[in-house]
Each structure stands twice: as structure tokens, then as C-alpha cells.
Structure 1
């Protein structure tokens, strides 16, 4: 493809992304949401351009205009995607149907309360006592940290997380006690097994995330390779369950029960950049996004109504900066942001908040 044609498609995609960004902030947002999600899903470049527009807007820059230096760098990065799937102004029905089916099958990666509350007790009751030589890795409430394990694997812990690691002579066993962890597994003969609640995840040379939510649901999200999720539950009516995930899939189960045979993996609605704080979300509820940011918040983020909490948004957000995230979400959705020493609250209007410092809707 000639450079001039590549640049033309590049500019068209930027314009489409800017148009969609304006639509999704306007009165037609809900009516056109399915069409918007279909546009996002049809070409990986669509999501990249949309995220750039959203990030630019969030930092107070203009939606349109030239960004010559960044555009030049983007051309090379996007060339392969544009060659495989040229930009089209209108979507075909097949693409929309496929996207609707995918959205219908997706479940949220984090199922958490929209406000900060005391975390549940650790699931230590389901863990055996680590053998001699086991190590415990833990992070503070506002800390994300990478650990290098002795076998060459990498362990990344989100804020407020705890993992016990036992690298034995014949097996590698890790126990996620609380929080959210990424496992980048070094390939070798010893099996690598992560236990969480009453389930276990077995991997060989792969990358995956495991989360224990506030509702004591265990979520497994596979980024690369393959993992088998199985049940450790040995109750009277227990049935052996093992589910294999493909990259991009997620699977959830109740921590105390473990996975069951009729449960199926779904397409993940949350992407993989959480380790640096900047994360991409697709059609996520505002309540769930705030709950994730609250893992890093000193002052909790809250919502004034369930109606606001149930709004779905897509884009790139830095969850390690809860204050900035709250402002960005307020700007994106045309909401007010009321501030007090005890909370930051997303509101429809500042009218009812008296002397409380309230940033009005944009």
C-alpha cells in the first residue's frame, strides 16, 4: 500500500474515531451503542484510534487538528492492521451481528461494589499451610509491584494483593490469598499451579491473570498460551470440572464452590495493560470501573445513583490515579464531580450539593 493511501486511511480512521467519541458523549449514545461496539470490534485499529482520542480529550487537548509527530509514528504501527482490514465508513451486518453475540456472551472481569468498603476476609481457610521454603509476596493498598521468582517466572501483584509461592522439587504451587495477580510462567518440566478459592489453574509457559473479587468470585483471564481451570471442591455433590481457556477468554467461579461442569468461558471485556496502571475497558459499567480504581484510592470514588453506576463506557483509563480517573469519567459522560474530605462522588448535577466543592458537568 502506498504511503499516501496509508496516510489517507490513517486520517479517515482518526476522523471516524473523533466522530464516534462525540456521538458517545451526546444524546444518541445509548441508541447507537450497539453500532459503536460493532465499529470497535471490526478492526483493532479502531480501538487504538478511539483510545487516543479519548486520552487526548481527557488531558484537555483538542479532538481534531494535526498531531504530525505522533501521526508519523502511528503510521508504521498501524500499517499491518490497515493492510489486513482496510477502514470502511459503513459496517456490514455480519460484523454487527458478531459483535452483538460477543457482547452478549461477555461477563465483567471485576464484579465489585461501586464504593469502598472493608474487603472480605482472606480466603486462607481454603489453603493448606505452606511447606518449608515457601515465600509470601504482598503489596500495599496503593502499590503495583513486579517480582522475579526463582524459576524465572514473573509475578505482578496489583494493589492490596497477597500470594504464597512454593517452588518445590517436583511442582510449583502458588496460592492467591487476596487481590489480583498476573503470572508470566517460565517454561519447564515442573507443573505451575495457582490455587484460588476452591479452584486451581494449571499452566505451562503462559501468561494469565487471576483475581479474587470482593464478592468472593475468582476470575481467570488468559492473555497467552493455555490454562486449565479445575475445581478443588470435594463436597458431597462435587463433580470434577476442568475448563480450558484460549487467549482472550475469561472464566469465573464462586471461590467457596469452585468451577462447575456447565460453566463456560467467555470473551474478556477487560484488556491486559493493568500492570502499568493504564487499562483499556470495553463496555464496562461505571460502578465496576470505580471499584477497580478504589483499590488504589486514599479517598473513595462513589456514585450518586445506580443509574450512573450502570452506564457503560469504553476507553483507556489510568486506575492508579483515581482522582484523575474520576475527572475523566465525569468529562466523558457529562457528569458533575462533588468532592469532600471523605469521598469523590459522580453526580448528574451540582445543584443539591450545597457548599460541597462540586465540579459541574462539562
Structure 2
């Protein structure tokens, strides 16, 4: 049963997504939309019944002497991952399939912000900014072309930034959230923290709210406190140091695709915008690229951004197959 359904997803995958959602906290809110989907066709109803049977089979598997929780933990130790065999045990396998590694929106998820229940790993494509809700109530917003691996278990909350940038709104918990990036890590609880991992291996951690600690090497106990409004950097030499001008790296609205700069070279600003661009922007003259610019820019909107830069500097915009070229008139 793989015929395309809502938003071109296979009907059976949409059914699994609904199965998870209708057992979640938003079930009543989504009831009308779910009922409409279910009654839309016999194929939808059949797919949903099939998903329910799979969930029931998982519930039986949980109590099996051969495959159940106790036996598995005796062989492998406590299971790490998104869910343990607890209140949501029967949804474990279905959630991975239904939501997908990139957190793609299914019925009942709002558009625009692309908020989703996340499955491991979390990942965004070029030009995409997406927010995921974690199982502990925390939220992770990933910048363009970013990846965050997540491993939760009893007594531990842990994520790893593999590439790109993430803003974590960390829910309060019995243990802090451990955020690995490069060779180091940050820990935070009931806080909002940004981490960015550059291709060079340099990590910048900036705190918007609450308190956190950062260490340049996870194997070394030496840590440095991170206070709200400040930023720390480390790597690739693993030396931990304060960022001299934290305002330059603490971008409050990057989750909406905006960037504010008091002073930045035009070439560097265009490079930031190109992280989101399907067709890159090229400044044809080096002297133009070296000019200073300040202001608030919607860098995730490539065409509008190029037009604004052209107006500010009196440049001509020429769209070619390879790039959007900015040149002197």
C-alpha cells in the first residue's frame, strides 16, 4: 500500500503519522482534521487499521520473554534512543517511519515554521530552517544544511551537532542537556543556547537565556561558565576563549532567516546569504566585495537580498545560469 497520499507521501506513511499524533497531546485539536482524512477514502481507513495492527503487535513484542524490555536490557544494557519501552513504547518504530529523519511535515503539523516531532537524526537541506520538538519538551531549530543527532535515555539527555547551527530551547529537567560539538561540549538546563560548527572545526556557543557551561574537550573536566549575552569559542586547537564581540555572533532572528550587522564586509555578508541560496550570488569586483555594510538583512531570501544590496551600492543585477552577478553599473 504505497499509493501517494497527502502531500505526495505514501498513504501507509501518512496513516502511521496520524497513529502517533492521535495518541499525543494534540489529539483533540487535530480530531476534526483526522476524521476528515479517515473518511476521505476506504484506502485511508484500511491503511490506518493496518497501522493499528502493527502497533498492537509491538505491544505484544514488548512483553515477549525473547524480545521484551527486560531481556533486551540484560543483553545490551539500557536502550538509548528517542523512546524507551515506557508509555509510548508501542509508537517507537512507527515514529521513525512516520516522521522521517528530516522531520518532514505530515497532516496536523503547521506549515511555515515546519515544526515536527523529530526522529533521529534531525537534518535540514540547503535553504531550509526548521524547528523540531524533542521528547523532553525542548525545541531544536536547525539552520540551513545542518544536522543534529539525538540520544535520550533514562537519566541522560544528549545531542550532537554534526554540522551547521542549532538553537536549543532547553526544557527544565532532572539532568542538564549535554550538547556535543567538535571535540567539546556545552551543558544547559532551562536555557536557550545557540551553537554553530564551522567547516574549519571552530565552534561558537552563545547563550540567550539561562546559564550554561562549555568545555573545549569532552575528555577534560575544565569548564567555563557561559552567561546570557556572551559567547565562547573553541577548536580546532581546542582552546576555549571568550568571543570579543559577542553581538557579532549572537543573531537573535537567524531562526527566521534574518541577520543584523553593525559592520561587515559585503563579501562576507554575501557568503552568509549564499548558505541559503540555490543559485549563488557573485560580486564581480573585489573592491565592491571589500566595502563595509551595516543593517538588517533577510539573507535567506536570495532574490530580495540581492536586489536590496544592489540598491544600497548602486549595483546592477545580472541573472545568469551559474549565479546572480552583482556588478558596478
TM range (shorter): 0.5 to 0.7
Deviations 1:186-228 (Å, cap 9, x if unpaired)? 0112111111101101111111111112333212122112221
**Structure-1 residue corresponding to 2:73:** none
Tell me, in whole angstroms, the C-alpha distance in 2 between the residues paired with 1:168 and 1:284: 43
Q: Check 1:214–1:302 CA distance in 2 against 1; reply closer, same or farther (3 A cut).
A: farther
Say which of 228, 232, 254 aligns to 1:251.
232
Q: Check 1:305–1:246 CA distance in 2 against 1; reply closer, same or farther (3 A cut).
A: farther
Task: Give the deviation of 1:301 after TM superposition.
Answer: 1.3
Tell me, in whole angstroms, the C-alpha distance in 2 between the residues paired with 1:249 and 1:191: 19
Say which of 114, 122, 142 aligns to 1:157.
142
Say which of 267, 270, 280 aligns to 1:300.
280
Say which of 193, 205, 210 aligns to 2:195.
210
Q: Check 1:221–1:311 CA distance in 2 against 1; reply closer, same or farther (3 A cut).
A: farther
**Structure-1 residue corresponding to 2:247:** 268
Q: Check 1:345–1:213 CA distance in 2 against 1; reply closer, same or farther (3 A cut).
A: farther
Matches within 5 A, 1:138-217: 138-217=123-202
**Structure-2 residue corresponding to 1:309:** 289
Matched, 1:220 2:205: yes
Tell me, in whole angstroms, the C-alpha distance in 1 between the residues paired with 2:178 and 2:255: 21
User: Contact 1:203/1:227 (CA < 8 Å) preserved in 2?
Assistant: yes
Task: Give the deviation of 1:277 after TM superposition.
Answer: 1.6
Unaligned runs of 5+ residues in structure 1 are 1-130, 350-359
Task: Give the deviation of 1:245 after TM superposition.
Answer: 2.3
Q: Check 1:283–1:152 CA distance in 2 against 1; reply closer, same or farther (3 A cut).
A: same
SS in structure 1 opposite 2:207?
strand
**Structure-2 residue corresponding to 1:133:** 81
Task: Give the deviation of 1:244 after TM superposition.
Answer: 2.1
Bigger radius of gyration: 2
Matched, 1:232 2:217: yes
SS in structure 1 opposite 2:214?
strand
**Structure-2 residue corresponding to 1:45:** none
- TM-score, reference length from structure 2: 0.60
Of the two structures, which has the highest relative contact order with CA contacts closer than 8 Å and spacing of 6 or more?
1
- Number of residues of Structure 1 aligned to a counterpart in Structure 2: 212
User: Contact 2:231/2:242 (CA < 8 Å) preserved in 1?
Assistant: no
Task: Give the deviation of 1:240 after TM superposition.
Answer: 5.6
- TM-score, reference length from structure 1: 0.55
Task: Give the deviation of 1:241 after TM superposition.
Answer: 4.4
Tell me, in whole angstroms, the C-alpha distance in 2 between the residues paired with 1:284 and 1:346: 17
Tell me, in whole angstroms, the C-alpha distance in 2 between the residues paired with 1:308 and 1:244: 40
Tell me, in whole angstroms, the C-alpha distance in 1 between the residues paired with 2:202 and 2:321: 31
Tell me, in whole angstroms, the C-alpha distance in 1 between the residues paired with 2:206 and 2:136: 22
Q: Check 1:330–1:242 CA distance in 2 against 1; reply closer, same or farther (3 A cut).
A: farther
User: Contact 1:199/1:259 (CA < 8 Å) preserved in 2?
Assistant: no
Q: Check 1:243–1:330 CA distance in 2 against 1; reply closer, same or farther (3 A cut).
A: farther
User: Contact 1:269/1:284 (CA < 8 Å) preserved in 2?
Assistant: no
Task: Give the deviation of 1:337 after TM superposition.
Answer: 2.7
User: Contact 2:132/2:140 (CA < 8 Å) preserved in 1?
Assistant: yes
Q: Check 1:253–1:310 CA distance in 2 against 1; reply closer, same or farther (3 A cut).
A: farther
SS in structure 1 opposite 2:242?
coil
Q: Check 1:327–1:197 CA distance in 2 against 1; reply closer, same or farther (3 A cut).
A: same
Matches within 5 A, 1:34-45: none
Matches within 5 A, 1:98-117: none
